[in-house]
């Protein structure tokens, strides 16, 4: 749409996504963020309007930047390094979710009011299901 892959580089440190490589990327980011921040800061709009504008902005931004993220090329070494980094990040997130769920279950059980955050439980078990399906698919392909 608007963003071009030549303006950005793959973000290696500090998260996922892309980071600016050229002045055009900085201008693009400014044009995308500054009006949105001004909109959010002004008190003229209600909560519902802010919610719809935020959702629309996020959808537009994702539709614009996802093709850029896909188009960025990596060599074999970068691909392997990123795979290891993603694996390590995923394991850390899984451990935090497991510890959080266990803490929540144990503390609520001690209060005799058993509660579970189903959103986190679904994320944990959904991740396990996606991993299983991925492994089955890759085994069948002989990878």
Q: How many helices, marked H, and strands, marked E, lie in the chain?
A: 4, 2
How would residue 129 be classed by pLDDT, with cut points 50, 70 and 90? Answer: very high
Mean pLDDT of 79-108: 89
pTM over 0.85: no
First to last CA, the chain: 35
Beta bridge partners of 9: 19
Residue, of 118 and 143, whose pLDDT is higher: 118
Non-local (6+) Cβ contacts of 7 within 8 A are 20, 21, 22, 24, 25, 28, 68
Mean model confidence pLDDT for the chain: 87
Rg (CA), the chain: 21
Of 113, 71, 117, give the one whose Cα is nearest residue 97: 117
């Amino acid at each position: 749409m608007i963003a071009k892959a030549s303006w950005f580089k793959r973000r290696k440190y500090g998260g996922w996504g892309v980071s600016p490589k050229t002045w055009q990327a900085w201008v693009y980011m400014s044009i995308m963020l500054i009006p949105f921040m001004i909109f959010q800061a002004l008190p003229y709009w209600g909560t519902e309007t802010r919610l719809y504008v935020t959702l629309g902005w996020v959808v537009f931004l994702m539709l614009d930047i996802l093709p850029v993220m896909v188009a960025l090329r990596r060599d074999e070494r970068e691909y392997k390094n990123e795979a290891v980094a993603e694996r390590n990040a995923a394991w850390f997130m899984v451990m935090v979710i497991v510890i959080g769920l266990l803490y929540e279950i144990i503390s609520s059980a001690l209060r005799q009011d058993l509660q579970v955050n189903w959103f986190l439980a679904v994320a944990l078990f959904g991740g396990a299901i996606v991993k299983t399906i991925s492994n089955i698919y890759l085994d069948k392909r002989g990878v």
